[in-house]
Amino acid sequence: MVGTLRKMLIGVVALIVLLVVIAFLLPRTFKVEREITISAPPIPIYQMVSAPTNWPKWAVWNKRDPNMKLTFSGTGGGAGAKWSWESATEGNGAMEFTEADPPRRLVYKLSFPDMQMVSSGVIRLTAVDDETTKVSWTNEGDFGTNPALRYLGLFMNKIVGPDFEAGLASLKVLVEKRVMADIKAKADAAPPPIDAVNDAAKADPAAPPATADVAPKK
């Protein structure tokens, strides 16, 4: 009996050692990247991603936990803006925007204290034309000597990638709706063209004709 237990113990120790050795042979870094094309110029997209208070409107993590506790600090947007969260399902974390090049690039630092994990990310906006922008979202980090996190790195792209895709899709819908709403609001607020006013005057002879503004001759 004692001999059997000893063999089992030796086997467990050998397996743990093997797993640790394999871990140090795994890549210590990871990178996740996704992109999407949005029918909008870069500025309204940058406004939506550069302010931490806007992230809960499109980031998938916040949608999965509506009860997530959020704290905002630092600047209102761009470099120096910060936010953190506490969630029973999504974990505890913090994000700080460290560099900003509006409206083309935003760099952030992402940390998960419970996992002792820190990574960095970049959101890049590239104008395709006057009404279209390609948005690229990248996150990468270094697991260092932590063997457990190195195993996690094998699945980071499959775990985080779909969240990036869902977030970008939500960002696209949100920005495009806002852009269309702004265009409609401007069109509704614009005065009718002179020809349209004159057509209305023809229908109502009592109405005075519309005239273009012309400076008086001196």
What pLDDT is recorded for position 212? 46
pLDDT at res. 155: 78
Q: Is the pLDDT of residue 156 over 70?
A: yes
Q: What is the pLDDT of residue 146?
A: 76
Helix (H, G, I), strand (E, B) or coil at 139: strand
Cis amide prior to 193 (ω within 30 degrees): no
- Which two structure tokens, joined as six digits, stand for 105? 């690039």
Q: Is pLDDT larger for residue 142 or for residue 164?
A: 164
Is 218 a residue whose pLDDT tops 50?
no
When pLDDT is cut at 50, 70 and 90, the band that residue 14 belongs to is low
Kindly state the helix (H) or strand (E) to which residue 112 belongs, with its residue range: strand 105-112
Average pLDDT on 178-187 reads 89
At residue 27, the pLDDT reads 75
In tens, the pLDDT along 49-98 reads 999 999 999 999 988 998 999 999 999 999 999 999 999 999 999 999 99
Q: Is 78 left (phi over 0), alpha (psi -120 to 50) or beta?
A: left
